[in-house]
Amino acid sequence: MKYLNSDLKVPLLDAIDKLTIIELKHERAENEENRKSIENETAFWKSVLDAYRKDGVPLNNEWITSMKEANGRLWDVEEAIRNAKKNKLSNEEVGKLAVQLRDLNDERVAKRAKMAEALGTDFFDTGEQIAAETPYKLPLHETIDRLTITALKLERLKGNKNYPSFEREYAFYSKVVDAFRKDGVEVKDKWIADMKAANGRVWDRESAIRQGREQEFGLEEMGRRTLELRDIQMQERIPAKNKVAFAIGAPFYEVKTKANHEQ
């Protein structure tokens, strides 16, 4: 299908993904401290999907069910990793969980690919004129996260068959950042630099796991890297995102999912 995303809606499959994740947080990790943020975020993602429906975009409810099932399975493994220290798991045991997590994520990516093929568009095509009203754009803290991840792809994956798609994605999120500036939001260069640094460190720790190199490094080393990765996520990446969200008074922020004994 041909779709011009001139009002910078969150790309449809990302919106579906995010909605199912926040629904899982509502069911499994909501508490009084984060309840309002989860409510606001749930309402936002539902509004994005409703906007696509109003535009006549075919939205198969089975996709939402399928994505939530996939993310639920990922959650279960991630929770086991989150509780690794509490449950005194060895690095080798954590390494096995990391491999399981990667394989489940590969299944999730394959599901998304089938949905993308059915839709026939990536929703990054904005046309030449951006709409004056852009209420369905990705929140700034999430936008900077996506922008910096894509910037890293452009720097590190030259020659990749998907490189043109990375370029389209980077151009799209650059327009979203510009839209926030037009809304009067001061987007600080430091926010982008800090997020890119955190995501670069995440990339470095994830690479061996993502590339299926457990036979080269061994499960114990994979487990050690996975625990380091979790620390970077909790201590650097999520705080970098929330620094932006809190600075601009965003209606929701990145809700941390803590180990059970910390909740």
Is residue 101, in this structure, part of any structural domain at all?
yes
* Three-state DSSP class for residue 213: coil
Backbone angles phi, psi at 187, to 5 degrees: -95, 110
Residue 129 and residue 18 in contact, taking contact as beta carbons nearer than 8 Å? no
In a domain, 258, yes or no: no
Q: Is residue 262 part of a domain?
A: no
Structural contact between residues 256 and 24, judged by C-beta atoms closer than 8 angstroms: no
Q: How many domains does the chain have?
A: 1
Per-residue confidence (pLDDT) for residue 258, from 0 to 100: 58
The terminus-to-terminus CA distance of the chain in angstroms comes to 45
CB 241 within 8 A of CB 142: yes
Residue 34 lies in a domain: yes
| Mean pLDDT per 10-residue segment, the chain (263 residues) | 94 98 96 96 98 95 97 97 95 94 94 95 95 96 98 97 96 98 97 97 85 79 92 95 97 76 33
| DSSP SS3 for 231 | helix
Instruction: Kindly state whether residue 259 falls inside one of the protein's structural domains.
Output: no
Return the axis-axis angle of helices 12-28 and 35-54, rounded to nearest 10°.
150
Q: How many CB atoms lie within 10 A of CB 34?
A: 19
Q: Cα separations (Å) of 27 from 24, 32, 38, 229?
A: 5, 13, 10, 25
The answer to whether residue 214 sits within a structural domain is yes
Asked if the structure places residue 4 within a domain, the reply is no
pLDDT for 224 equals 92
Structure tokens at 73: 């399975």
This prediction has a pTM of 0.93
The reply to whether 261 falls in a domain is no
Residue 201 belongs to what domain range?
12-128+138-253
Residue 251 C-beta-side C-alpha neighbours within 13 Å: 11
The residues, ordered by sequence, that sit 6+ positions from 212 with a Cβ below 8 Å of its Cβ are 102
How far apart, in whole angstroms, are the C-alpha atoms of residue 175 and residue 92? 44
Annotate 96-142 with three-state secondary structure: HHHHHHHHHHHHHHHHHHHHHHHHCCCCCCCCCCCCCCCCCCCCHHH
**pLDDT at position 261, please?**
34
